[in-house]
Amino acid sequence: MKLYLNKASPYARLVLVVAHEKGLAKDLELVWTDPWASEEKLLAVTPFSKVPALIAHDGLPLVESACICDYLDERGGAPRLMPPSGADRVAALRKLGLGRGLIDASFGAVIQKRFGGDGNSVLFERWRASVLRAVMAIDRNPTPSLSPDLGDLVIAVALGYLDFRMADVKWRAEATRLSAWHDRVCARESMIATAPEQ
Ligand SMILES: N[C@@H](CCC(=O)N[C@@H](CS)C(=O)NCC(=O)O)C(=O)O
């Protein structure tokens, strides 16, 4: 399988974390690309020129991080990162929704600042406010687990992205329990191996 990615993307990092957790990292050929440059090699795989994108085991492309994570979770066999049913699944979905929302809001704010021209734009302020509210909503939930399911991993990646790209958001002072959990979950091999870079 081929994974198209870059070193700063939280969406690509999530897919790579899942691959590590499922023991599939060794089966991935990593293709580093700049999605903003709309390179031919990436456009041949995805019409959106976004990372992550995967060439799956059948030789065909798969896009969108949620779809790729689902595919890898099934392909890597049991135990599943996404609980199949019951209260565990609902809890994982709850975390997944908040974690994905946090990635979307923080990535949106970062991109707005980079391409929107005016860092104080309405959209930037709106997404930044969502980021702060989302961290507090996650902190109000039961502490994420150190035997992480997919929801926990999304939250770990989302908070890592805040540290990487929005260091001015002092979330650790506001959410100390979550901060302590994040330090510990970041000691996992999957998180160390995928730490973001400029
Ligand atoms: N919904 C997509 C979002 C992927 C995404 O926006 N990736 C960014 C990098 S973090 C990208 O490639 N952006 C290039 C662009 O929007 O043109 C997913 O979950 O995979």
- Looking at residue 118, what is its pLDDT? 62
For residue 87, how far is its CA from the centre of ligand 1 (angstroms)?
Answer: 31
Beta-bridge partners for 38: none
pLDDT digits (tens, 9 = 90+) for 130-189: 999 999 999 999 888 999 999 999 999 999 999 999 999 999 999 999 999 999 999 999
Verify whether ligand 1 is closer than 6 Å to residue 4 (CB atom).
Answer: no
What length does the chain have? Answer: 198
State both tokens at 83: 């609980």
Q: Show the domains of the chain with their CATH numbers.
A: 2-75 (3.40.30.10), 86-192 (1.20.1050.10)
What CA–CA distances, in Å, run from 182 to 94, 156, 175, 177? 18, 6, 10, 9
Atom of ligand 1 nearest to the CA of 15: 20
Q: Of 2, 5, 138, 23, which is closest to residue 75 (Cα–Cα)?
A: 23
pLDDT digits (tens, 9 = 90+) for 9-58: 999 999 999 999 999 999 999 999 999 999 999 999 999 999 999 999 99
Look-up: residue for tokens 């997944």?
96
In sign, the C-alpha dihedral spanning 145, 148, 152, 155 is positive
Q: Which amino acid is at 124?
A: F
For residue 57, how far is its CA from the centre of ligand 1 (angstroms)?
Answer: 22
pTM over 0.95: yes
Q: Helix crossing, 150-165 with 176-185: angle to 10°? A: 100
- Parallel, antiparallel or unpaired: strands 61-63 and 53-55: antiparallel
For residue 158, how far is its CA from the centre of ligand 1 (angstroms)?
Answer: 14
Q: How far, in Å, CA of 169 to CA of 115, rounded?
A: 20
Q: What secondary structure letter does DSSP report for 145?
A: P
pLDDT above 90 (res 127)? yes
